[in-house]
Structure 1
Amino acid sequence: MLKLYEYSRSGNCYKIRLLLTQLNIPFTKIEIDILKGESRTTEFLLKNPNGRIPVLEIEPGEFLFESNAIMFYLSEGTEFFPCDKFERAQVMQWLFFEQYSHEPFIATSRFWYMTGKVEEYQEALQQKQAPGYAALGVMEQHLANHAFFVGDRYTIADIGLFAYTHVAGEGGFDLTGFPAIQTWINRVENQPRSISITHLN
């Protein structure tokens, strides 16, 4: 059985938990408390030398890390990843966008709020507002004319962007000015076998 090493409050880990659940693939969840340094132990670094979660153990001793790479691995050959070459590239395009233009601002802000470091990182949080809202603006523009991000059907591109967007408010981002995003969030939440980020398997 697959083993998912994760910190349950992490959006990057939620991506994998959600996809596995929607694919109806059984897995064992192993909680790694990053706040206690459990992803930096010698034992964990043998699984991921970069010391980050999530990590998926596919076979004993065979590990895969980086959330979007794990989603690619799990979704290939399923309805969550297109067959068309251009659409496949579009999925990857949005996943790269998520990691470089979205996650560093929205996810990081949420983490600082979540760990009670708002005062400590107040200036950095302010600096993340503009690029975070810019990323949401790109999403809003696309979703104004599309039901989903690629091929007008639900793919891992949606899962990747949904993970931190739907909890952006927890990082100080107001989604009220993004009606298309709000409609899309509702659409994603109503997909079959959907689970919430707080749901524990």
Structure 2
Amino acid sequence: MTGMPTVYGLRSSGNCYKLQLLLDMLGRPYRWVDTDSTRGATRTAEFLALNPNGKVPLLVLDDGRRLAESNAILCYLAEGTPYLPTTSWDRARTLQWMFFEQYSHEPCIAVARFICRWLPEDHERRAELPRLRERGAHALDVMEEHLSREPFFSGGGFGVADIALFAYTHCAADGGFDLSRWPLVGTWLERVRARPGFSPMSV
């Protein structure tokens, strides 16, 4: 990747934070355009011209190419760096955890966080919380079991799958998850925070 990319994102969104975290760890300069999806910023004609799906994050390269979907962007940005394995097996294992994050982890833990943080106490969606917490706890159980055997999720080492999973795991308490129940997950979170270039989420 050449030039300085532009990231359209919401700082308090875990999916957007993934990009911030990787770019900061890589030490790569980038422009950040605050795009508050909770206030309709992704539904304007201007933004929809960039991403018809109306979601952040969105990566725009200096030559005008655009890429959406947080984990696809992570893989692109990490190409040719130690954060993305080069062997087919370790790369597949990394992608396995990134798919897990999007299909089994984020839809429960991130959604519970959204409901608890941004919706009023009497909102009807609060009825979803028990089921979200049950499913989110199962996802954390799966992570805990893996961490009993390996220290990271990216093909045996630290990389993009860890960044993807860290984004919403580290703030799971916002959605009502008591992370003390998963001590190995807690230790892994501290290992990620100790990585060179780590930057916290803006909340």
Q: TM-score band, normalised by the shorter chain?
A: over 0.9
- Aligned position for 2:184: 180
Shift of 1:118: 4.3
Answer whether contact 2:60 2:66 (CA < 8 A) is retained.
yes
Shift of 1:18: 0.5
Shift of 1:190: 0.3
Q: Distance in 1 between matches of 2:172 and 2:191?
A: 17
Q: Secondary structure at the match of 1:106?
A: helix
- Aligned position for 2:146: 142
- Aligned position for 2:81: 78
Q: Deviations over 1:144-191 (max 9, x none)?
A: 121111343211010000000010001111111100000000000000
Shift of 1:119: 3.1
Q: Secondary structure at the match of 2:149?
A: coil
Q: Distance in 1 between matches of 2:27 and 2:119?
A: 35
Number of residue equivalences: 199
Q: Distance in 2 between matches of 1:47 and 1:10?
A: 19
Answer whether contact 1:112 1:118 (CA < 8 A) is retained.
no
Q: Deviations over 1:43-82 (max 9, x none)?
A: 1011111100000101343110000000010001100001
Letter in 2 for 1:65: A
Report matched runs for 1:1-201 at 5 Å. 1-120=4-123, 121-198=125-202
Stretches (4+) displaced over 4 A: none
Moved more, 123-132 or 98-107: 123-132
Q: Deviations over 1:97-128 (max 9, x none)?
A: 00000000000111122213343122111221
Shift of 1:36: 1.2
Q: Distance in 1 between matches of 2:12 and 2:118?
A: 11
Q: Secondary structure at the match of 1:176?
A: helix
Moved more, 53-62 or 29-38: 53-62
* Aligned alpha-carbon RMSD (Å): 1.2
* Structure 1 unaligned spans of 5+: none
* Structure 2 unaligned spans of 5+: none
Using the aligned pairs only, state the percent identity: 45
Q: Structure 1 residues 118 and 72 mapped into 2: Cα distance closer, same or farther (>3 Å)?
A: farther
Answer whether contact 2:22 2:74 (CA < 8 A) is retained.
yes
Given the two structures, how large is their TM-score scaled by the length of structure 2?
0.95
Q: Distance in 2 between matches of 1:126 and 1:119?
A: 15
Letter in 1 for 2:200: S
Given the two structures, how large is their TM-score scaled by the length of structure 1?
0.96
